[in-house]
Structure 1
Amino acid sequence: DTGIGIPPEDQPHIFDRFFRAANARLVDPGGTGLGLVIVKKIVEQHGGQIEVSSAVGAGTTFSVYLKCDLRE
């Protein structure tokens, strides 16, 4: 996205329940702090992983990797 981004010091905590980055609390975008927790749990239950890349003022990209069995 092209939002406010997530500060590096907050990135290790973004998948913690109810966590809100300090800069997000300042602009109050709404939400409960559960969305990323739920996404991570679903991805992991499917054998995948989720990664984040973010820069303050430039936005955030989440990448989801899921295993794919191409056998028929």
Structure 2
Amino acid sequence: MFEPFFTTKPVGKGTGMGMSISHQIVTRKHAGKIICNPDVEQGAEFIIQIPLQQTASAN
């Protein structure tokens, strides 16, 4: 799901880059996590966790 160009939309209806870019920003720039809790009936819940204090390696 976080791979570039992954999409469930028909051809021409999306680039499949949104989740990949979001994942890179949260994990690489902010040393955080994205957790996906899928629900077949209602969609999915995404939890974004970003530490309050950044470490030097997160920059």
**TM-score above 0.5, yes or no:** yes
Deviations 1:10-66 (A, max 9, x none): xxxx0001012xxx33xx4x3210000000000012110101011223111110000
Q: Normalising by the residue count of structure 1, what TM-score does the alignment of the two structures yield?
A: 0.62
Q: Which has the higher strand share?
A: 2
> How many residue pairs align between the two structures?
50
Q: Which residue of 2 aligns with 1:19?
A: 6
- Measured on the aligned residues, the alpha-carbon RMSD in Å equals 1.3
Percent identity at matched positions? 32
SS at match of 2:14: coil
Consecutive unaligned residues in structure 2, runs of 5 or more = 54-59
Q: Which amino acid aligns with 2:20?
A: V
Q: Which residue of 2 aligns with 1:39?
A: 22
| Partner Cα separation in structure 1 for residue 33 and residue 39 of structure 2 | 21
Q: Which of structure 1's runs of 4+ aligned residues deviate more than 3 A?
A: none
Q: Normalising by the residue count of structure 2, what TM-score does the alignment of the two structures yield?
A: 0.73
Candidates 44, 50, 56, aligned match of 2:40: 56
SS at match of 2:37: strand
